[in-house]
Amino acid sequence: MDLTSLIQSQVSEGLIDQLAGQLGGADRGQTAAATTGILSTLLGAMARNASTPDGAAALNNALERDHDGSILDDVMGMVTGQNNAPSARTTNGTGILGHILGNRQGGAVDMISKMSGLNSGQTGDLMAMLAPVVMGMLGKTKRDQGLDAGGVTDLLTGFAKQEQSKNPAMSIITGFLDADGDGSIIDDVAGMLGKGLLGGLFKRRR
């Protein structure tokens, strides 16, 4: 199973409902839009980080140590805090975000909030919930396909390019990630993105 198919299989209607509930009864459509933006942002950021040898090695080591994909066996349990992960690092969304986004984290929250309509607190909480899932997806793909550090980099780069070609929001996200975290592009997000532009990453089936 490739990364896109794995995302489609994991991000179900039921998961969106559960995530919206965990955010205090957030709007379901806004939660779905934010989820799409978060997945694209985190995978795009990892592709960017893995473009250097040191970054690729660090990501590969983290996947081998803490993210073998087993968390995907009970995503609902992870979201609700009832998943007994083998390592605290596996489910430490805040820590994962620090490694992936660094000083871009606040700007990413603002960008996705403007994209989706969720407030910044809800977006930050959702991002922390989804970060371990993203790492689990990448770890499972790495394990199933027998990828080394270079293979993981190629996987992420190919995914990012594929998404950019079919998802208009991805070009905004890529521009943000390439802006060295200065946040200037965020001012243009609301005007450049309509709500209809956020469905490119996956199509949920009812």
Q: Does the residue 200 lie in any domain?
A: no
Distance of CA 162 to the CA centre of its chain: 16
pLDDT tens per residue, range 53-84: 999 999 999 999 989 888 888 888 777 776 66
Expressed as residue numbers, the domain containing 45 is 3-195
Q: What is the mean pLDDT of residues 92-99?
A: 92
In a domain, residue 7? The reply is: yes
Q: Is residue 145 part of a domain?
A: yes
The two tokens of residue 91 are 């489910």
Determine the residue type at 95.
G
**Mean per-residue pLDDT, 80-89:** 65
Is 206 part of any domain? Answer: no
User: CA 8, 49, 114 angle in degrees (round to 5)?
Assistant: 60
- Mean pLDDT of the 10-20 span: 89
**Residue 168 placed within a domain:** yes
Identify the pLDDT of residue 87: 63
- Assigned domain for 73 exists: yes
Q: How far is CA 34 from CA 71, 73, 82, 92, 158, in A?
A: 21, 23, 23, 20, 22
Domain-located, residue 32: yes
Residue from 123, 141, 109, 179 nearest 6 by CA: 141
pLDDT score for 146: 94
Residue 85 pLDDT class (50, 70, 90 cuts)? low
Count the domains in the chain. Answer: 1
Cα 62 to Cα 60: distance, rounded to the nearest angstrom = 5
pLDDT of residue 203: 43
Residue 202 covered by a domain? no
Q: What is the pLDDT of residues 125-161, one digit of tens each?
A: 999 999 999 999 999 999 999 999 999 999 999 988 8
pTM for the structure as a whole: 0.83
Q: What average pLDDT does the chain have?
A: 82
Closest listed residue to residue 196, CA positions, set 120, 94, 116: 116
